[in-house]
Amino acid sequence: MIRVLLADDEGMIRSALAALLRLEPDIDVVAEAADGAQAVAAAVRLQPDVCLLDLEMPGLDGVQVTEQLNRTVPTRCVVVTRHARPGVLRRALAAGAAGFVPKSRSAHELAAVIRRVAAGERYVDPEIAADALSDERPPLTDRELDVLRAGRHGETTAQIARSLSLAPGTVRNHVSAVLAKLQVTTRQQAVLLAEERGWI
Protein backbone atom coordinates (compact mmCIF):
# COMPACT_ATOMS: atom_id res chain seq x y z
CA MET A 1 0.00 0.00 0.00
CA ILE A 2 1.37 3.44 -0.98
CA ARG A 3 0.83 5.91 1.87
CA VAL A 4 0.13 9.41 0.57
CA LEU A 5 -0.04 12.84 2.20
CA LEU A 6 -2.14 15.35 0.26
CA ALA A 7 -1.65 19.11 0.76
CA ASP A 8 -3.82 21.74 -0.93
CA ASP A 9 -5.28 24.94 0.52
CA GLU A 10 -8.47 24.59 -1.56
CA GLY A 11 -10.64 22.38 0.65
CA MET A 12 -13.05 21.17 -2.03
CA ILE A 13 -10.26 20.13 -4.42
CA ARG A 14 -8.33 18.46 -1.59
CA SER A 15 -11.34 16.46 -0.36
CA ALA A 16 -12.40 15.41 -3.86
CA LEU A 17 -8.91 14.30 -4.82
CA ALA A 18 -8.44 12.41 -1.55
CA ALA A 19 -11.74 10.59 -2.11
CA LEU A 20 -10.81 9.65 -5.69
CA LEU A 21 -7.32 8.46 -4.74
CA ARG A 22 -8.76 6.32 -1.92
CA LEU A 23 -10.69 4.39 -4.59
CA GLU A 24 -7.35 3.13 -5.94
CA PRO A 25 -6.65 -0.36 -4.53
CA ASP A 26 -3.00 0.34 -3.69
CA ILE A 27 -3.15 3.97 -2.45
CA ASP A 28 -4.05 5.14 1.06
CA VAL A 29 -4.34 8.88 1.75
CA VAL A 30 -3.06 8.95 5.32
CA ALA A 31 -3.26 12.73 5.86
CA GLU A 32 -4.64 15.93 4.36
CA ALA A 33 -3.12 19.36 4.99
CA ALA A 34 -4.46 22.84 4.21
CA ASP A 35 -1.10 24.63 4.08
CA GLY A 36 2.64 24.07 3.91
CA ALA A 37 3.31 24.13 7.65
CA GLN A 38 0.60 21.50 8.28
CA ALA A 39 2.07 19.38 5.47
CA VAL A 40 5.56 19.46 7.00
CA ALA A 41 4.24 18.60 10.48
CA ALA A 42 2.08 15.72 9.18
CA ALA A 43 4.89 14.33 7.03
CA VAL A 44 7.35 14.38 9.94
CA ARG A 45 4.78 12.61 12.13
CA LEU A 46 3.49 10.03 9.60
CA GLN A 47 6.45 9.53 7.21
CA PRO A 48 4.29 8.89 4.11
CA ASP A 49 5.76 7.26 0.99
CA VAL A 50 4.65 10.14 -1.26
CA CYS A 51 3.66 13.75 -0.54
CA LEU A 52 1.37 15.34 -3.12
CA LEU A 53 1.87 19.10 -2.68
CA ASP A 54 -0.01 21.99 -4.26
CA LEU A 55 2.48 24.59 -5.46
CA GLU A 56 0.53 27.64 -4.27
CA MET A 57 -0.26 27.38 -0.57
CA PRO A 58 -0.20 30.05 2.16
CA GLY A 59 3.02 30.29 4.15
CA LEU A 60 5.30 27.63 2.73
CA ASP A 61 4.59 26.80 -0.92
CA GLY A 62 4.92 23.29 -2.39
CA VAL A 63 8.55 23.82 -3.41
CA GLN A 64 9.55 25.10 0.04
CA VAL A 65 7.80 22.12 1.67
CA THR A 66 9.67 19.79 -0.71
CA GLU A 67 12.96 21.43 0.27
CA GLN A 68 12.27 20.97 4.00
CA LEU A 69 11.04 17.38 3.68
CA ASN A 70 14.01 16.32 1.58
CA ARG A 71 16.25 17.27 4.49
CA THR A 72 14.17 15.63 7.24
CA VAL A 73 11.80 12.88 6.03
CA PRO A 74 12.39 9.79 3.84
CA THR A 75 9.51 10.63 1.48
CA ARG A 76 9.16 11.51 -2.22
CA CYS A 77 7.44 14.76 -3.19
CA VAL A 78 5.23 15.48 -6.20
CA VAL A 79 4.42 19.15 -6.84
CA VAL A 80 1.02 19.82 -8.43
CA THR A 81 0.29 23.20 -9.97
CA ARG A 82 -2.38 25.12 -11.84
CA HIS A 83 0.26 27.36 -13.43
CA ALA A 84 2.91 25.06 -14.83
CA ARG A 85 5.66 27.55 -15.68
CA PRO A 86 9.15 26.38 -16.68
CA GLY A 87 10.88 28.47 -14.00
CA VAL A 88 8.76 26.86 -11.31
CA LEU A 89 9.66 23.41 -12.66
CA ARG A 90 13.35 24.28 -12.32
CA ARG A 91 12.78 25.45 -8.73
CA ALA A 92 10.88 22.24 -7.88
CA LEU A 93 13.55 19.96 -9.36
CA ALA A 94 16.32 21.92 -7.62
CA ALA A 95 14.43 21.45 -4.32
CA GLY A 96 14.38 17.68 -4.90
CA ALA A 97 10.85 17.09 -6.21
CA ALA A 98 10.43 13.63 -7.70
CA GLY A 99 7.38 14.66 -9.73
CA PHE A 100 5.83 17.75 -11.31
CA VAL A 101 2.27 17.58 -12.61
CA PRO A 102 -0.36 20.13 -13.76
CA LYS A 103 -3.70 20.17 -11.93
CA SER A 104 -5.42 19.48 -15.25
CA ARG A 105 -4.50 15.78 -14.95
CA SER A 106 -7.20 13.32 -13.82
CA ALA A 107 -7.07 11.50 -10.48
CA HIS A 108 -6.39 8.28 -12.41
CA GLU A 109 -3.36 9.84 -14.14
CA LEU A 110 -2.20 11.26 -10.82
CA ALA A 111 -2.44 7.79 -9.26
CA ALA A 112 -0.17 6.46 -12.03
CA VAL A 113 2.37 9.22 -11.27
CA ILE A 114 2.21 8.40 -7.54
CA ARG A 115 2.97 4.73 -8.32
CA ARG A 116 5.95 5.65 -10.50
CA VAL A 117 7.38 8.05 -7.92
CA ALA A 118 6.83 5.56 -5.07
CA ALA A 119 8.77 3.00 -7.14
CA GLY A 120 11.76 5.35 -7.21
CA GLU A 121 11.22 6.95 -10.63
CA ARG A 122 10.88 10.67 -11.42
CA TYR A 123 8.02 12.11 -13.44
CA VAL A 124 7.73 15.47 -15.15
CA ASP A 125 4.73 16.24 -17.31
CA PRO A 126 6.03 16.05 -20.93
CA GLU A 127 4.48 19.35 -22.05
CA ILE A 128 5.99 21.26 -19.13
CA ALA A 129 9.35 19.60 -19.76
CA ALA A 130 9.27 20.67 -23.43
CA ASP A 131 8.43 24.25 -22.44
CA ALA A 132 11.24 24.28 -19.88
CA LEU A 133 13.80 23.09 -22.43
CA SER A 134 12.89 25.91 -24.81
CA ASP A 135 12.67 28.58 -22.10
CA GLU A 136 15.45 31.12 -21.57
CA ARG A 137 17.32 31.35 -18.29
CA PRO A 138 16.33 34.37 -16.17
CA PRO A 139 18.74 37.33 -16.26
CA LEU A 140 18.74 37.43 -12.43
CA THR A 141 21.13 35.63 -10.10
CA ASP A 142 19.84 32.98 -7.68
CA ARG A 143 20.25 35.42 -4.77
CA GLU A 144 18.31 38.14 -6.61
CA LEU A 145 15.52 35.63 -7.24
CA ASP A 146 15.59 34.72 -3.52
CA VAL A 147 15.12 38.40 -2.62
CA LEU A 148 12.14 38.72 -4.99
CA ARG A 149 10.62 35.51 -3.67
CA ALA A 150 11.04 36.60 -0.04
CA GLY A 151 9.38 39.93 -0.81
CA ARG A 152 6.63 38.78 -3.13
CA HIS A 153 3.86 39.57 -0.62
CA GLY A 154 5.01 43.11 0.15
CA GLU A 155 7.47 42.28 2.94
CA THR A 156 9.70 45.15 4.05
CA THR A 157 13.44 45.28 3.33
CA ALA A 158 14.09 44.44 7.00
CA GLN A 159 11.78 41.39 6.85
CA ILE A 160 13.43 40.14 3.66
CA ALA A 161 16.88 40.66 5.22
CA ARG A 162 15.87 38.64 8.32
CA SER A 163 14.34 35.78 6.32
CA LEU A 164 17.45 35.44 4.11
CA SER A 165 20.04 36.23 6.83
CA LEU A 166 21.30 39.24 4.88
CA ALA A 167 22.04 42.83 5.85
CA PRO A 168 19.29 45.31 4.84
CA GLY A 169 21.83 47.19 2.70
CA THR A 170 22.63 43.98 0.80
CA VAL A 171 18.91 43.45 0.13
CA ARG A 172 18.61 47.04 -1.17
CA ASN A 173 21.59 46.44 -3.49
CA HIS A 174 19.99 43.26 -4.85
CA VAL A 175 16.67 45.06 -5.40
CA SER A 176 18.45 47.89 -7.27
CA ALA A 177 20.20 45.33 -9.49
CA VAL A 178 16.90 43.55 -10.18
CA LEU A 179 15.12 46.80 -11.13
CA ALA A 180 17.94 47.75 -13.49
CA LYS A 181 18.09 44.31 -15.17
CA LEU A 182 14.31 44.03 -15.60
CA GLN A 183 13.91 47.73 -16.51
CA VAL A 184 11.06 48.31 -14.05
CA THR A 185 10.66 50.99 -11.38
CA THR A 186 9.22 49.10 -8.37
CA ARG A 187 9.90 45.82 -6.60
CA GLN A 188 6.24 44.84 -7.06
CA GLN A 189 6.56 45.23 -10.85
CA ALA A 190 9.66 43.05 -10.71
CA VAL A 191 7.80 40.38 -8.70
CA LEU A 192 4.89 40.37 -11.19
CA LEU A 193 7.25 40.07 -14.15
CA ALA A 194 9.22 37.26 -12.49
CA GLU A 195 5.99 35.40 -11.65
CA GLU A 196 4.65 35.77 -15.20
CA ARG A 197 7.85 34.32 -16.60
CA GLY A 198 7.93 31.50 -14.05
CA TRP A 199 11.21 32.54 -12.43
CA ILE A 200 9.76 32.56 -8.91
What does residue 27 show for φ and ψ, rounded to 5 degrees?
-125, 130
Helix (H), strand (E) at residue 190: helix 187-196
Tell me: pLDDT of 42 over 70. Answer: yes
Domains of the chain: 2-134 (3.40.50.2300), 142-196 (1.10.10.10)
Residue % of the chain over a pLDDT of 70 = 96
Q: What pTM, to 2 d.p., does this model score? A: 0.71
Instruction: Work out the angle between the directed axes of helices 36-46 and 62-72 (0-180°, nearest 10).
Output: 20
Highest mean pLDDT among 25-29, 80-84, 126-130: 25-29
- The predicted model gives 33-55 an average pLDDT of 97
Report pLDDT digits (tens) over 142-151. Answer: 899 999 999 9
8 A C-beta contact, residue 4 and residue 48: yes
Cα–Cα distance measured from residue 175 to residue 118, given in angstroms and rounded to the nearest whole number: 41
- Give pLDDT, residue 136: 63
Cα–Cα distance measured from residue 57 to residue 64, given in angstroms and rounded to the nearest whole number: 10
Sign of CA dihedral 26, 28, 34, 37: negative
Strand partners, 53: 7, 79
Strand partners, 27: 2
Q: What is the average pLDDT value for the chain, to the nearest integer?
A: 92
Tell me: pLDDT of 17 over 70. Answer: yes
Measure Cα distances from 151 to 89, 145, 157, 194 in Å.
20, 10, 8, 12
Report pLDDT digits (tens) over 66-78. Answer: 999 999 999 999 9
Query: Who wins on pLDDT, 13 or 89?
Result: 13
- Give pLDDT, residue 91: 83
Residue % of the chain over a pLDDT of 90 = 76
Task: Name the band, by pLDDT with cuts 50, 70 and 90, for residue 135.
Answer: low
Tell me: pLDDT of 102 over 70. Answer: yes
- The predicted model gives 37-49 an average pLDDT of 97
Looking only at the bridges linking them, the beta strands covering 50-54 and 27-33 are: unpaired
Cα–Cα distance measured from residue 28 to residue 165, given in angstroms and rounded to the nearest whole number: 40
State the greatest distance between any 2 C-alpha atoms of the chain, in Å, as a whole number.
56
- Give pLDDT, residue 134: 65
